[in-house]
Amino acid sequence: MPVLARLATAFAAAAVALSAAAPAAFAREPAVPLAQLQPARYAGVVMLPGGDSAAVALRVGPVDAERVVAIFIGPVEAAAIARVERGIKPPRPLTHELLGSVLAATGAKLQRVVIDHLRDGVFLATIELQVGGAPSSVWVDARPSDALALAVGRDVPILLGPSVIEAARDPNAPPPATTPPAATGRTI
C-alpha cells in the first residue's frame, strides 16, 4: 500500500477513535445552547488603521435590520482569509489549509463554525466535525480566524453566540434602518 494511502487510513482510524472519546484538551462544545446561536454571513475582511490588527465582518439578522459583527483577528490571519476568499493558494499550506487537507484525508466533514463567547477580550470558537460513520459529531476548540478561514469558500454555516453579537454592538449607533442603506461603493 502506498505511503499516502497508509497515512490516510491511519488518519481515518484516529479520527474515528477521536469521535468516540475526544480528550477534553481540545474538545469543546459551544458555551451556549445551539438554539441561542444566530446564523451569520461572511461579508469580508477589513484591515484596521495602523496595520497591526484586522477584523472579519459578519452580517447577522434579516437584510432589512442586519447588523455587522466584527471579529478581531491579526493581520496575518486576515490576509489568509482574504486569500481564501479570492481563491489564491500559497505555495505551502497555511494552518487552515493543512486542517482542510487532514479533514479530506480522513473523510471528516466540517459541519459548522460557532463563535460563541468572548472571554477577557478574546473571541472563542469551536468547529463541529462529522467523522466518518460515527453516530455523533465531534466539537473541536478553534481560533476564530482558523475556523472562519475553513468556512469561507465552503458552504458551511457560521453561527454566533449572543455575547459575541452584543460585544460588537456600538452603543452610539442609531437603531437598524427599516430599509437597507444605499451602497457606498466601499467593499469590506
pTM of this structure:
0.76
Q: How does pLDDT run across 127-148, given as a tens digit for each residue? A: 999 988 878 889 999 999 999 9
In the chain, count H helices and then E strands: 5, 7
Q: What is the pLDDT of residue 183?
A: 37
pLDDT bin (cut points 50, 70, 90) of residue 90 is confident
Domain map (residue ranges) of the chain: 14-167
Summarize pLDDT for 21-40 with one digit per residue, the tens: 445 547 888 889 999 999 99
What pLDDT score does 16 carry?
52
Query: What was the pLDDT predicted at 172?
Result: 56
Could you tell me which CATH number the domain at 14-167 has?
Answer: 3.10.690.10
β-strands 138-142, 122-130: how paired?
Answer: antiparallel
Beta bridge partners of 42: 58
Distance between CA atoms of 94 and 143, rounded to whole angstroms?
14
pLDDT at 184: 35
Higher pLDDT, 104 or 178: 104
